[in-house]
């Protein structure tokens, strides 16, 4: 078999650390494979996906803003992709068919579940975009007894998520100005907004640390910087913290497994991602 090639398509995509992470994994396992980044505009998504398949790509990751659009191009969809209404991983089969998967869903769950208690979870989910949707999908599939409070500055967006998941999970909506109390009452608090992301590192979804406490698990999906203000306040208050890089690595490792049928070297992928982020952001 000749060289296998893979990639990530999005817009913008130049900042992605996925090529560094995936090529490090291919290299460590001695695979004759390469992973590239493709900047694709929204108007050319179908052309790009079909072209990649026709040219012999084995698989591709899909990132913002194309995760919803690619779903319609696939002959089959995994349960995660179907429920999330979005895909981040496509597999091109030998017969030319396209399978759509969503490894953000399992990747998020793998990144946080080892830290969680066994009881029915109370979750405070801050944000109502694509990442929040992946979190709700994972909870609906893997912990359907969870109670989730969605907190967003735009309550209409939170209510839309509530409506989409209400048959699978107990979802409530909290107004933005009431978020401290909802976060304080949670076993797990997740920041799924871009607040705190480099270079705006002073941003934070809480006004102070009073809602964080020992025994609570606090996660940020933002991974630049690795310890955001949200995570620092939580750590200083005694909570168990989980950074966002674990989700990135686990979604990549799950895509690797789908494409190659073997486990990915996740520890090495994390090291490669950290090195690429240091080089990118200084
Ligand atoms: P998105 O679809 O654009 O959603 C962003 C969410 O953040 C929206 O609810 C938005 O509210 C909210 N938001 C943005 N700025 C805010 C502010 N100043 N105050 C309050 N809310 C604010 O983006 P996404 O795909 O969900 O991604 C969200 C974050 O997660 C990003 O930082 C992304 O890098 C990260 N992420 C990480 C991973 C990972 O593997 N770790 C995976 C996916 C995403 P409005 O709708 O009102 O603007």
Distance CA 149, CA 146 (A): 10
Cα 275 to its chain centre, rounded Å, is 20
Is 157 a known active-site residue? no
- Taking only the tens place, the pLDDT of each residue in 225-278 is 999 999 999 999 999 999 999 999 999 999 999 999 999 999 999 999 999 999
For the whole model, what pTM was predicted? 0.96
* Dihedral angle, C-alpha 156, 159, 160, 163, nearest 10 °: -160
Mean pLDDT of 17-29: 97
Residue of minimum CA distance from atom 3 in ligand 1: 129
Q: Which three-class secondary structure state does DSSP give residue 235?
A: helix
> What percent of the chain has a predicted confidence (pLDDT) above 70?
99
> For ligand 1, is residue 157 a contact (CB within 6 Å)?
yes
Residue 105: pLDDT above 90?
yes
Of the residues 17, 160, 194, 198, which should be mutated to test ligand 1's pocket, given the most ligand atoms within 8 Å of the CB?
Answer: 194
> For ligand 1, is residue 221 a contact (CB within 6 Å)?
yes
Backbone conformation region of residue 39, classed left if phi is above 0, alpha if psi is from -120 to 50, else beta: beta
> For ligand 1, is residue 247 a contact (CB within 6 Å)?
yes
> For ligand 1, is residue 183 a contact (CB within 6 Å)?
no
Local confidence band at 179 (pLDDT 50, 70, 90 cut-offs): very high
Distance CA 26, CA 255 (A): 13
Q: How many CB atoms lie within 10 A of CB 17?
A: 23
> For ligand 1, is residue 222 a contact (CB within 6 Å)?
yes
Which of 66, 67, 133, 229 is labelled catalytic?
A: 67
Distance CA 258, CA 91 (A): 8
Ligand 1 atom with the shortest distance to the CA of 132: 26
Local confidence band at 193 (pLDDT 50, 70, 90 cut-offs): very high
Mean pLDDT of the chain: 96
For residue 19, give both structure tokens. 């090529």
- Taking only the tens place, the pLDDT of each residue in 117-162 is 999 999 999 999 999 999 999 999 999 999 999 999 999 999 999 9
232: number of CA atoms within 13 Å, CB side? 12
Mean pLDDT of 41-68: 95
């Amino acid at each position: 078999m000749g060289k296998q090639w893979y990639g990530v398509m999005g817009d913008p995509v130049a900042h992605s650390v996925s090529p560094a992470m995936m090529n490090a994994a291919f290299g460590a396992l001695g695979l004759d494979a390469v992973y590239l980044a493709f900047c694709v505009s929204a108007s050319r998504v179908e052309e790009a996906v079909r072209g990649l398949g026709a040219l012999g790509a084995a698989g591709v990751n899909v990132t913002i803003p194309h995760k919803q659009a690619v779903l319609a191009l696939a002959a089959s969809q995994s349960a995660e992709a179907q429920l999330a209404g979005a895909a981040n991983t496509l597999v091109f089969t030998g017969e030319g068919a396209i399978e759509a998967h969503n490894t953000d869903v399992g990747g998020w769950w793998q990144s946080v579940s080892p830290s969680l208690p066994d009881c029915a979870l109370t979750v405070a989910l801050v944000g109502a975009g694509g990442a929040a949707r992946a979190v709700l999908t994972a909870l609906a599939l893997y912990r359907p007894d969870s109670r989730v409070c969605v907190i967003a500055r735009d309550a209409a967006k939170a209510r839309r998520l509530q409506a989409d998941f209400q048959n699978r999970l107990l979802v409530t909506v909290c107004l933005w100005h009431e978020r401290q109390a909802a976060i304080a009452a949670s076993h797990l608090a997740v920041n799924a907004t871009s607040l705190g992301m480099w270079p705006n590192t002073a941003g934070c979804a809480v006004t102070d640390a009073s809602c964080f406490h020992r025994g609570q698990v606090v996660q940020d999906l933002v991974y630049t910087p690795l310890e955001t203000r949200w995570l620092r306040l939580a750590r200083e208050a005694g909570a168990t913290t989980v950074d966002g890089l674990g989700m990135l690595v686990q979604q990549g490792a799950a895509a690797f497994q789908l494409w190659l049928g073997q486990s990915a070297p996740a520890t090495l992928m994390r090291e490669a991602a950290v090195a690429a982020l240091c080089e990118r952001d200084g």
